């Protein structure tokens, strides 16, 4: 077995596909190669894979982040499913080394172009979906995108308390949080108290400024929301 065929077989094994999979070969066929050799390109598989990747990531977000509303979930998905993220995954899998290109695309360093790598990843996902079914394709997407999902979830958790409380209120079908402010002390040393009301919650926080007091109140309300 040649080094190239051995390498291709190793890739197929990592993807959970047979080394002689026709769908895998198609998924790795760029349009430039298809045009030069009068064969089908991976574009149709890319179209299908795009939908499978979207569904697999949305599936994980709904399951693992039930506290998020639709808006926050959409933002998180967009941070995971984008050209940059999918190209990074394709690079980790080594897909660029296995893509079949036409001569012009090779000269233009097609193996390094993020758009081509992202498309290849989606095409490979479609090949897995068609050969192994949705459950296997979903597990593959969620596993290979795990670093991107973790990074996106960290960004979500760093939302400021007021924004996070607004999103929770929307998710629960509640009116937007309402803040009441009170200032105490002399002008040079004013202390603020903020009381936030949202649904059945009414929580007071404090701070050296209006913004800090409202943020503290929102953080306390977020922590007590399960008891509301």
| Same domain, residue pair 26 and 104 | yes
pLDDT of 110 reads: 57
Could you tell me if 224 and 168 are in contact, meaning their C-beta atoms sit under 8 angstroms apart? no
| Same domain, residue pair 142 and 215 | no
Of the candidates 139, 157, 175, which is a domain's last residue? 157
| Same domain, residue pair 129 and 177 | no
pLDDT of 102 reads: 84
Buried b (16+ CB within 10 A) or exposed e, 106-143: eeeebbebbebbbbbbbbbbbbbbbbeeeeebbebbbe
Distance of alpha carbon 216 from alpha carbon 212, whole angstroms: 6
Residues belonging to the active site = 50, 122
CATH number at residue 74: 1.10.1520.10
pLDDT of 60 reads: 94
Of the candidates 104, 138, 157, which is a domain's last residue? 157
Which residue do the tokens 């002008």 mark? 187
Could you tell me if 177 and 164 are in contact, meaning their C-beta atoms sit under 8 angstroms apart? no
Give the bridge partners for 191, in sequence order.
184
pLDDT of 186 reads: 79
Please state the domain count of the chain. Answer: 2
> What is the residue range of 191's domain?
161-227
| Same domain, residue pair 148 and 63 | yes
pLDDT of 4 reads: 45
Segments of the chain scoring below 50 in pLDDT: 1-4
| Same domain, residue pair 152 and 190 | no
How does DSSP classify residue 176? P
Instruction: Find all residues with CB under 8 Å of 198, minimum gap 6, and list them.
Output: 165, 169, 174, 175, 176, 177, 178, 221
Helix residue ranges, H only, the chain = 3-15, 22-27, 31-37, 43-64, 70-80, 83-93, 103-107, 114-132, 134-144, 146-157, 161-171, 210-224
| Same domain, residue pair 106 and 213 | no
| Same domain, residue pair 153 and 169 | no
| Same domain, residue pair 192 and 210 | yes
pLDDT of 38 reads: 93
Q: What is the CA radius of gyration of the chain?
A: 25
Q: How many residues does the chain have?
A: 228
| Same domain, residue pair 87 and 23 | yes
| Same domain, residue pair 112 and 216 | no
**CB-count burial class (<10 Å; 0-12, 13-18, 19+) for 36:** middle
| Same domain, residue pair 170 and 113 | no
| Same domain, residue pair 202 and 90 | no
Could you tell me if 95 and 28 are in contact, meaning their C-beta atoms sit under 8 angstroms apart? yes
CATH number at residue 197: 3.30.160.20
């Amino acid at each position: 077995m040649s080094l190239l065929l051995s390498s291709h077989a190793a890739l197929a094994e990592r993807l959970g596909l047979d080394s002689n999979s026709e769908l895998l070969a198609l998924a790795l066929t760029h349009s430039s190669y298809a045009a030069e050799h009068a064969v089908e390109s991976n574009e149709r598989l890319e179209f299908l894979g795009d939908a499978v990747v979207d569904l697999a990531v949305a599936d994980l977000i709904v399951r693992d982040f039930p506290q998020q509303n639709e808006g926050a979930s959409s933002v998180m998905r967009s941070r995971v499913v984008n050209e940059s993220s999918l190209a990074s995954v394709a690079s980790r899998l080594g897909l660029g080394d296995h893509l079949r290109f036409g001569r012009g695309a090779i000269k233009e360093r097609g193996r390094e172009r993020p758009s081509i790598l992202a498309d290849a990843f989606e095409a490979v996902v479609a090949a897995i979906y068609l050969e192994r079914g949705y459950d296997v394709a979903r597990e593959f997407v969620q596993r290979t995108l795990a670093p991107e999902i973790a990074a996106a979830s960290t960004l979500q958790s760093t939302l400021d308390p007021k924004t996070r409380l607004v999103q929770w209120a929307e998710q629960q079908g509640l009116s937007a949080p309402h803040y009441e402010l009170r200032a105490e002390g002399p002008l040079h040393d004013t202390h603020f108290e903020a009381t936030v009301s949202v649904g059945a919650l009414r929580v007071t926080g404090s701070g050296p400024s209006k913004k800090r007091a409202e943020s503290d109140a929102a953080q306390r309300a977020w922590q007590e929301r399960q008891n509301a």
